[in-house]
A and B are shown apart, each in its own frame.
Chain A
């Protein structure tokens, strides 16, 4: 079985400050980890993924995520938040050879001007 947890329903951050959206996972074998973003009234958009290699993954719109195997975490980060980053963020996990992806419950990011 595989699962992913996003412990925070909402994260508030001031514009210009660094942001972190947390994600932890549980999977047997090596994980494939993803972050998606959903802007209001839109479908989900892919941000970045970790498959193998460097633990720090860079993605779209200046976002990055750090894979930590010992803590089974894959937190999303950005050095300086923009108001336009306000959206719903989903973490997702699966493992090699398994086509079903499990999504977290989502974290609403609110960037305050």
Chain B
């Protein structure tokens, strides 16, 4: 079974802090994704990566950056946390086979509160 793990289930940070969210997958997937989930807005893509050291902006990249130094690990960084970044953050991975028909596997999520 594919396993996607996230470093924290709950996190409380102060405004202006630098925040790191870590995600690890164990199935050698090429693609990895970071989403935020907010009530009424569904899932919105922040960034994704299709290979080591490669990244692509999603729909809402402002205020975030990412790092992928190893294939299994994808980090989301909030350079200076703000209260409007309080949200549930979901990491996902998928196999890339030249087409995009493969489903994504999600981690349990990190609920981040910025005060």
Taking Cβ atoms with an 8 Å cutoff, the residues of A that contact B are 6, 9, 32, 34, 36, 42-46, 49, 51, 90, 94-106
Which residues of chain A come closer than 8 Å to B103, judged between CB atoms? 34, 46, 49
A-B contact pairs, 16 of them (CB 8 A): A44-B104, A44-B106, A49-B103, A51-B101, A90-B43, A96-B99, A99-B48, A100-B45, A100-B48, A100-B58, A101-B45, A103-B43, A103-B44, A104-B42, A105-B40, A105-B41
Which residues of chain A come closer than 8 Å to B43, judged between CB atoms? 44, 90, 103
Which residues of chain B come closer than 8 Å to A49, judged between CB atoms? 101, 103
Q: Is the CB of B100 within 8 A of A95?
A: yes
Which residues of chain B come closer than 8 Å to A104, judged between CB atoms? 42
Total residues of chain B contacting the partner, CB 8 A: 27
Q: Is the CB of B42 within 8 A of A106?
A: yes
Q: Which partner residue on chain A sits nearest B109 by CB separation?
A: A43
How long is the Cα–Cα vector from A23 to B4 in the complex, in angstroms? 27
Q: Is the CB of A46 within 8 A of B105?
A: yes
